[in-house]
Structure 1
Amino acid sequence: MAARLRRLPTRLLSLAATRSDRRVHEELTRADARKWHYAALATLAEFGPASQAELSSRTGIYRSDLVAVINELAERGLVERAPNPADRRQNIITLTARGHERLGTLEELLAGLEDELLAPLSTTEREQLTRLLAKLVYG
């Protein structure tokens, strides 16, 4: 690879993201899950029950796509969907006990994958990389 390509941060970031995304997709597929499953479960675990609109906003999953994600999770008993008592037009999504267990399994899988992908980095370098990426993403 040309030296100027090896020094170009945007190219390196893109290559690392592509590799990471591919491996995450492969491992989650093996576990019969998708990234959006994890995002929805993790968000419900952290913030508690939410309307579909709130869950869409908090996860970044488009509302139209979120309906399919919630359907898949509900079919597996990982979330429950119930009408909002304050607004019957709205559904409230709640994480089930089985959903908490599934989230734990997916977190273990992703932690192992992070260890694989970040193996060349020390603990300090991993923490620094996380801080720098968060700064790039969130400002």
Structure 2
Amino acid sequence: MKLRNCSGNGQRGLSMVGFLFGIIIVALLAVLGMKVVPTVVEYMAIKKAIVNAKNAGTTVKDIQVSFDRQRETNYVESVSSKDLEITKTGDGFEVSVAYEKKIGLFGPASLLLEYQATTASGMANKSKP
């Protein structure tokens, strides 16, 4: 039997250290995602609630009551009707809200997310999670 010379054709693949490093990175990203996703879901519920409250109310008090009702059913804890900025315009009312959510990561490290939403048509594209 003749042996082939394999110089230049070394083994390919992932080493054990490289594999563990990759798994650690994926796990950290998964944990971060599990902490951030609920805040984004809550933000979407708040955004939907301010739009529904604006459409349901003809006075500031009506808008606040409608928002509080939706807040209770959607389990929104970060914002209350007192946090809403309600301004009268020629077409009716515009409702906006801005708040921060701080997520503890580990030890002294934390992540600060700033959310803002509005029903103003010109500012709808500028609302950010």
TM above 0.5, yes or no, is no
Of structures 1 and 2, the one with the larger relative CO (CA 8 A, separation 6+) is: 1
Larger radius of gyration: 2
Looking at secondary structure, tell me which structure has more helix per residue.
1
